[in-house]
Amino acid sequence: MSRLDSKIVAITGASSGIGAATALELAGRGAAVVLGARRTDRLDSLVGRIRAEGGRAEMLEVDVTRRADLEQLVALAISRFGRLDVLVSNAGVARTAPMAELDTSGWDLMIDVNLRGVLHGIAAALPVFRSQGHGHFVTTVSTSGIKIVPTQAVYAGTKNAVRTLLEALRQESTDGVLRTTCISPGFVRTELADYMDNLEQREQIRQAFESFGISPDAVARAIAFAIEQPDDVEIGDMTIRPARQG
């Protein structure tokens, strides 16, 4: 029996890429998954696939920039399955441009989704985790926060801010109730580049994804590994990137 058989896991950004792969991986190992994203047509299809394969899944339209949506996602997990064991905060956006372009709307979007969205999840799930005596925050960060490069200053900044707040939360929670895990993917074949405004940079990143990017399944397996550890074991940080990534 897998250690994931009894887990109840909520996932944001679950309609594609790493989020969808994680939903399939965890459900396939016996976890019940509660999926949140804005694209409900994709969520509906994913939930249907999981259920058809014998898994347990629920879905909710979620915009992580709205705190109430995260509260509703957590409430759905509790009402349907009785508790929430893990919150995987995976929703994220990337806008790349030199700072001199002053893309303030892009800055605001990344701060709202990548940072504030994670905080909204923590605000919704932390009281539940404390009340039930256990809980695990798993958050998708990025190798962009490890190797700082031009045009990614604000994106990397939001990711490193999340890394900082998760480490502080970890240090505040050494009573054994909470676990925190930061997952830092490198080039992964996802739709992340599809919404970048700079067409040249979008094409460069797409080519890198296609040339040597790894499958979202690889990241999903890493997330499963972190979750399935015994309760007294915490995987704090994991970096998953292509062997060819510089």
Q: Which of 1, 57, 52 has its CA nearest to residue 29?
A: 1
Catalytic residue among 155, 187, 214, 241: 155
- Whether residue 155 lies in the annotated active site: yes
Cβ(123)–Cβ(47) below 8 Å: no
Q: Which of 92, 85, 168, 97 has its CA nearest to residue 133?
A: 85
Angle between helices 117-132 and 153-171 (to 10 degrees): 10
Residue 218 to residue 196: CA distance in whole angstroms: 24
Tokens 């399939």 found at: 24
Structure tokens at 204: 């460069």
Residue 150 to residue 93: CA distance in whole angstroms: 17
Angle between helices 40-52 and 17-28 (to 10 degrees): 20
Name the DSSP class of 99: G
Angle between helices 117-132 and 67-81 (to 10 degrees): 30
Known catalytic residues? 155
